[in-house]
Amino acid sequence: MSTISSAPLQLYFSLLIFTPRQSKVRTTFENSEDGVGWICLKSHVEEYWNNCLQTLEGHNDWVTSVAFSPDSTLVASGSYDETVRIWRADTGECMQMLEGHIFWVTSVAFSPDSTLVASGSYDETVRIWRADTGECMQMLEGHSSAVTSVVFSPDSTFVASGSDDKTVGIWRADTGKCMKMLEGHSSAVTSVVFSPDSTLVAAGSYDLTVRIWRADTGECVQILVGHSDWVTSVVFSPDSTFVASGSKDETVRIWRATTGACVEMLYVGRSSECLKFSQNGSYITTDVGAFAIQGSVLDTTQLSLERFGIGISENWITWSDRKLIWLPAEFRPRCSSVSGTNIVLGSESGKVTIIGLSPNWL
């Protein structure tokens, strides 16, 4: 009979001295450590559990895009190695390796129901894959240069793609048919997004502007002018009334979608590659953290400079503008995505890292 079988409680006693000193398990049962008092030399342990939840290895070149699924159970990553990988966020297991692109993958996005993944590539195509099987359902062809951004419509019916060819494509996700090619930008499109009601499409560009089109007719209804450098990200407010845009000029601007008026400009100190409004419009999330909106963006556009939430500043992961975790060179992100208090980082080393912030750190 094994020692564990004959003395199972000894296993639990022994494990206590290997758990972090400030962990819930250790502090709850600290009086039980007398049971292992006979151990003279104990292992050095950290104060808290390691914040690195998973390191996902498999890509052999730069990771260019990462995304959490809407239900936060999966992570998708695109890479210069021409593949897309889908990982389980809780275990780090690679569920699917999606092969088919013949040049760098630049952008990945999940459908709202987490069943599909879209990927854009330098090979000028968009591919739509089943997340569970890895099957390529559609290959969307029509752009004449690299695809830089992909996104599903809120009802998963359409996919929009931005391209270096200065256009935005709108495609049927089920058939792959190109419904519209939206023109007007004078330089590459960097970011594209549908409004929550799927009636509008907004895109940011190297030409320093944001354009808003009607999704059904392709009519350009607004040109938003004000940024002094490339526009890197765009997002609609929950009621489709406002558009927020991030830029290399290190600002986030909020515009009224119906008039094109800039109603607020917020200096955030770095380029924002990813923007997101909270569901109730009370704050906006950027790469460097979240910024509170006094009242609601639906009522007012007076932004508070109080920064909170998880973010990245230089080589640090931050919380509420406090530096928490220094990132060694091999983990410094080319791209990132946030889900609650978890952040996924894609790096030049090819690693995808999921980091979670415990309440003990915040």
Q: Residue range 310-320: average pLDDT?
A: 71
Burial state string for 83-103 with b = 16 or more CB within 10 A and e = fewer than 16: bbbbbebeebebbbebebbee
Confidence of residue 334 (pLDDT cuts 50, 70, 90): confident
pLDDT at 47 over 70: no
Domain coordinates of the chain in residue numbers? 1-49
Burial state string for 310-324 with b = 16 or more CB within 10 A and e = fewer than 16: bbbbeeebbbeeeeb
How many residues belong to the chain? Answer: 362
pLDDT at 109 over 80: yes
DSSP annotation string for 137-151: EEEEE--SS-EEEEE
DSSP annotation string for 220-234: EEEEEE--SS-EEEE
Question: Residue written as tokens 């936060």?
Answer: 72
pLDDT at 185 over 70: yes
| pLDDT on residue 177 | 96
Q: Residue range 73-87: average pLDDT?
A: 94
State in Å, rounded, how far the first CA of the chain is from the last one. 46
| pLDDT on residue 305 | 45
pTM metric for this prediction:
0.79
pLDDT for 206-260, tens place per residue?
999 999 999 999 999 999 999 999 999 999 999 999 999 999 999 999 999 999 9
Helix (H, G, I), strand (E, B) or coil at 194: strand
